[in-house]
Amino acid sequence: MAERDTGPVVVENADGGGAFVVLCDHASNTVPRDYGSLGLPPDALETHIAWDPGALGVARRMSADLDAPLIWPKVSRLVVDCNRDPSAPDLIVQEGDGRPVPGNLNLTEAGRARRIQTVHAPYHAAIEAVIDRRLAAGTATALIAIHSFTPIFYGEQRPWQIGVVFDEDLRLSSPLIGRLTADAALTVGINKPYSPADRVYYTMERHSGGGRLPAVMIEIRNDEVATPAAQRGWGDRLSKIFEAIAPEVRESGNAAA
C-alpha cells in the first residue's frame, strides 16, 4: 500500500481507486518534541483525551478493503484538533475530561497560529489534494471519517456500540444506519454520542463541498476496538456495508463537477 508521509500528515494508499476516501482526524496521540508532553504524565497521553484509540486500525482495514486513500495527522488532538474550525474555542483545549492541559494554558495568538500552520492546515491541504486529484480524474468520491469514543464520559455510561453522525445529506448515513440497525445485538447511536450541532463535523463539512460529495462520520465505542483483531473485525464489517453502497456513489456523478 503506497504511503506518503509528509511532515505531520500521512496519506496511505494515495492512488486507491475505490469510491471512498477514509479520514481519521484523531488517529495519533503523538506530541511533537517541541511541546514536551504538554505538561501531562505519559498515562494521560494514552487516554481518549489525546486521541481516538482503535480508530486508525479500523480506518486502515477499511482503506485496504475498499481500496481507499486514507489520510490522518500524526499529531495528538491535544496539540490542535484537526476536526475543529480554526476559530473554534475548543481547537486547542485547556482541559480534557476534567484534567488540565498545562501546555495549552495561556497560549499566545502566535502559539495558536503556529499549531494551525504546522498541523491543522497541512492536514486539510492533504485532504483537498487527494479529493481534487480524484475528481480531476473522474473518480466518484465519498468521504468516511472514523472516530472512537469513550464508554464513560463525565460519569455517564454510553450504551451505543457505534454511532452514525451526519447532516442533511443522507446518501451514506441512511443505508449505513439501515444495515447496522438490522442487527438486534447492536445499539446504534443516531447522531449520538455527538451530532453536527456539537461542532464535531468540521472535516466533513469542509471537504464535502456543501454536500456535493456524500459524507458520513462513524463513532465506535473504544472498548469495541481495543485489540487489533477487533479493529479488523469492525473494519471488515463496515467495509462490506460500504461496498454495497459504492455503486450508488459511482452513479452519483460528483466527479463531473
| Residue ranges per structural domain of the chain | 3-256
**Overall fold of domain 3-256:** Aminopeptidase (3.40.630)
How many CB atoms sit inside 10 A of residue 204's CB?
24
Q: What is the pLDDT of residue 60?
A: 99
pLDDT per residue, tens digit, the chain (257 aa), is: 455 555 899 999 999 999 999 999 999 999 999 999 999 999 999 999 999 999 999 999 999 999 999 999 999 999 999 999 999 999 999 999 889 999 999 999 999 999 999 999 999 999 999 999 999 999 999 999 999 999 998 888 999 999 999 999 999 999 999 999 999 999 999 999 999 999 999 999 999 998 899 999 999 999 999 999 999 999 999 999 999 999 988 877 564 33
Q: What was the pLDDT predicted at 135? A: 96
- Alpha carbon distance 47, 29 (integer Å): 9
* Strand ranges, E, within the chain: 3-6, 9-12, 20-23, 70-73, 95-96, 99-100, 142-149, 152-153, 156-157, 162-165, 188-190, 215-221
Q: The whole model's pTM is what? A: 0.95
Q: What pLDDT, on a 0 to 100 scale, did the predictor assign at position 43? A: 93
Q: What is the pLDDT of residue 71?
A: 99
